[in-house]
Chains A and B, each alone.
Chain A
Amino acid sequence: MESGITANQLERKESGQRTLTRNQRRTLTFYLFVSPWVIGFVLLGIFPLLVGLLTSFTNYDGLNLDTVKFVGLGNYARVFEDPDVSFSLVRTILWGLANLPLWLVLSFLLALILNQDVKGSGFFRTIFYLPSLIPITAAVTAWRIILEKNFGMLNASISRFTPEPVAIGWLSDYSLPGMTSIAIWGGLGYGMVIFLAGLQGIPDELKEAAQIDGANSWQVFRHITLPLMTPVIFFQLVLGLIGSFQQLNLPLLVTKVGIAASSVPPRPIYLYMIHTYQQIFTSGRYGYGTALLWMLFIGILILTWIVFWSEKYWVYSGASEGAN
């Protein structure tokens, strides 16, 4: 809405110099609104972060507070020398590539389908979300029945078509596809829900207006739905990226053998966080493990920053229209 004078000018005209400018008021409002998080961060976040950073410069093993020694950047140098680091990093990237695009596309598709007023959509949505509700330990236990090498359902079904029964190691040699199946199965519902929330946020009037103008479903999707969904897609992409790189529990649960919970996941799914976990809890290298975690943090941060930098190229923002 264009008016003859801006609100700012009105302000100054009416009440003189002593009141805050509009910009100043906006700044104040902004910081007031975000203060809960900032206070929380300052009180509960800074100290742990600093200590966490400090730990990475020591040879702390979790227990030896009395004899802990400073090693400066030694742990970080080690990160570059450790062959398992590069190996696990590669595995993690492959894991992300296998997992992320598939998950994004499939859950978006599901959300699109279920966004319509299909009969029983509530029922279907609940069913699709069900896997995401199942705790990961139970999920792996259930999937083991399908994927297990010698007694699993999948191999048994495949064996019907082969001359000799097969024993494909979906949890060992081919654990990447095996684990990806579990992950996507568990993540579909969750992804679908977020996309649904986003889809529901698109005002119907926009779509109706377009259809009155003669657009067909595909065009409505291409020109209205998709652009308006880009913030949500962006959100999913960023979080999915962060999540893939931080994956820890799934490989551990897939491998679990023996009374002592520490067993090493097979090479295909020896992810970066697994290596870190081994260093901290098996080898007792808490300081080195923390350094590994900080390196991971920097890596993900850079990736995320790249995605954020690309935000202005493909993500629609209603707030920035007109004002900026």
Chain B
Amino acid sequence: MDAQYRDLMMKRVNRFFGYSLLILTSLILIAPVFFMVISSLKVDAEYLTYPIRVFPSTPQWRNYQLVFIMTPFAKVALRTAVLALSTATLSALISSMVGFAFARYNDVKGNKQLFGLVIAMLIVPFIVILIPQFILYARLKLTNTYWPWILGALAGSPYNIFMFRQFFLNFPKELEDAAEIDGCNPFQIYWRIFLPNAKPVIATVMIFGFINVWGDYLMPSIYLNASKTLLGVTLATAFKNPQGIDLKTISLAASVIYILPLIIVFFFGQKQILKGVVTSGLKG
């Protein structure tokens, strides 16, 4: 009886500390975001002043207007969103399949070596293959198209493959054996048993995949021209004055608009990471 009461009290104290820690951490983490938003309403010269002024003298709501005037922001954003979603999904699917094979077929000859190659590709600095890959696509006349992204997604990404492999390593062997005895072929084992239980990783991989394309600068800057460009390039290059100098505060405004969809995507995506309703009273 006594032990249970103590345990309960410990839980209460834990919870109090836990919440305080959470709120404190939130405040610390949010502070720079707050500065970012508040600065987006300033004139460029007010960005850093002395004496230090947190709030702008006159909020420049016009900065947000300018984002849409200076660039076809909405059009580019939509274009980017479609590409991001499709490539994220494609890559997640393919990578899960490949990762499954690496994880569950440890006994096959060449598994470890091939996986080593996958990891090696993760380590190769992108700049090394950037221009040669561009040459390749140029010969195929696929520059200024979205094919580099789609073909890349169809091959799965080393990062995603790695993540799925690690996740699938955890599943007990008995699951596979039972399914095999039941007459399932490997694809069915993958599709019906492993994949549905990988929702957390799928959600994670898709969120990251989406964010990657949403904000990537390097690839679109190399492959796409102005009429087809993606959001990452617009964000990084479009907000300059005629001399080529960055307009910081307008860039910040654009960044704020840029992250809004991401917050929404994440907020709903992370619910998927949560594995259903928790029933056990022993939790928390």
Residues of A contacting B123 in the complex (Cβ-Cβ under 8 angstroms): 242, 297, 300-301, 304
| B22 interface neighbour in A117, A124, A188, A324, Cβ under 8 Å | A124
Cross-chain contact A151 with B48 (CB below 8 angstroms):
yes
One of B63-71, B76-84, B222-230, B265-273 contacting the partner: B265-273
Whether B92 is near chain A, meaning CB under 8 Å from some CB there, is no
Cross-chain contact B282 with A211 (CB below 8 angstroms):
yes
Chain A nearest CB: distance from B16 CB in Å? 12
CA distance A234 to B180 in the complex (A): 30
| A7 interface neighbour in B155, B180, B215, B266, Cβ under 8 Å | B180
CA distance A196 to B274 in the complex (A): 8
CA distance A23 to B110 in the complex (A): 13
Cross-chain contact A34 with B169 (CB below 8 angstroms):
no
Residues of B contacting A135 in the complex (Cβ-Cβ under 8 angstroms): 215, 232, 235, 255, 258-259
Question: Do A304 and B119 contact each other (CB < 8 Å), given the known contacts A51-B135, A231-B169?
Answer: yes
| A319 interface neighbour in B97, B104, B243, Cβ under 8 Å | B104
Question: Do A197 and B273 contact each other (CB < 8 Å), given the known contacts A116-B283, A319-B173?
Answer: yes
Chain A nearest CB: distance from B225 CB in Å? 20
Whether B88 is near chain A, meaning CB under 8 Å from some CB there, is no
Further contacts, 17 of them, CB under 8 A, given A148-B48, A280-B127: A23-B107, A34-B98, A41-B155, A44-B152, A47-B133, A55-B132, A126-B266, A130-B29, A135-B258, A143-B32, A153-B52, A190-B208, A228-B170, A290-B128, A304-B123, A318-B169, A318-B170
Residue of A nearest to B109 (CB): A27
Whether B220 is near chain A, meaning CB under 8 Å from some CB there, is no
**0 or 1 for each of B170-200: is its CB under 8 Å from A? (1 = yes):** 1111100110110000100010000001101
| B106 interface neighbour in A27, A156, A319, Cβ under 8 Å | A319
Cross-chain contact B36 with A141 (CB below 8 angstroms):
yes
Chain B nearest CB: distance from A8 CB in Å? 12
Whether A144 is near chain B, meaning CB under 8 Å from some CB there, is yes
Q: In chain A, residues 144-170, which have Cβ atoms closer than 8 Å to a Cβ of chain B?
A: 144-146, 148, 150-153, 156
Q: Which bucket holds chain A's interface residue count?
A: 35 or more
Cross-chain contact A145 with B29 (CB below 8 angstroms):
no
Residues of A contacting B207 in the complex (Cβ-Cβ under 8 angstroms): 193
Cross-chain contact B280 with A200 (CB below 8 angstroms):
no
Cross-chain contact B39 with A142 (CB below 8 angstroms):
yes
Residue of A nearest to B258 (CB): A135
Cross-chain contact B125 with A40 (CB below 8 angstroms):
no
Residues of B contacting A296 in the complex (Cβ-Cβ under 8 angstroms): 125
Question: Do A232 and B105 contact each other (CB < 8 Å), given the known contacts A122-B267, A151-B49?
Answer: no
Residue of A nearest to B198 (CB): A201
**0 or 1 for each of B113-128: is its CB under 8 Å from A? (1 = yes):** 0101111111111011
Whether A306 is near chain B, meaning CB under 8 Å from some CB there, is no
CA distance A263 to B111 in the complex (A): 45
Residues of B contacting A50 in the complex (Cβ-Cβ under 8 angstroms): 132
Q: Is the interface of A mostly helix, strand, loop or mixed?
A: helix
Cross-chain contact A197 with B168 (CB below 8 angstroms):
no
CA distance A135 to B100 in the complex (A): 32
| A131 interface neighbour in B33, B48, B163, B169, Cβ under 8 Å | B33
Chain B nearest CB: distance from A311 CB in Å? 10
Question: Do A37 and B161 contact each other (CB < 8 Å), given the known contacts A156-B52, A204-B280, A318-B169?
Answer: yes
Residues of A contacting B180 in the complex (Cβ-Cβ under 8 angstroms): 7
CA distance A30 to B110 in the complex (A): 10
Residues of A contacting B116 in the complex (Cβ-Cβ under 8 angstroms): 305, 308
CA distance A217 to B77 in the complex (A): 46
Residues of A contacting B243 in the complex (Cβ-Cβ under 8 angstroms): 259
Question: Do A134 and B171 contact each other (CB < 8 Å), given the known contacts A33-B100, A47-B136?
Answer: no
Whether B219 is near chain A, meaning CB under 8 Å from some CB there, is no
Whether B151 is near chain A, meaning CB under 8 Å from some CB there, is yes
| B172 interface neighbour in A40, A114, A116, A321, Cβ under 8 Å | A321
| B273 interface neighbour in A29, A130, A200, A319, Cβ under 8 Å | A200
Cross-chain contact B111 with A30 (CB below 8 angstroms):
yes
Residues of B contacting A45 in the complex (Cβ-Cβ under 8 angstroms): 121, 129
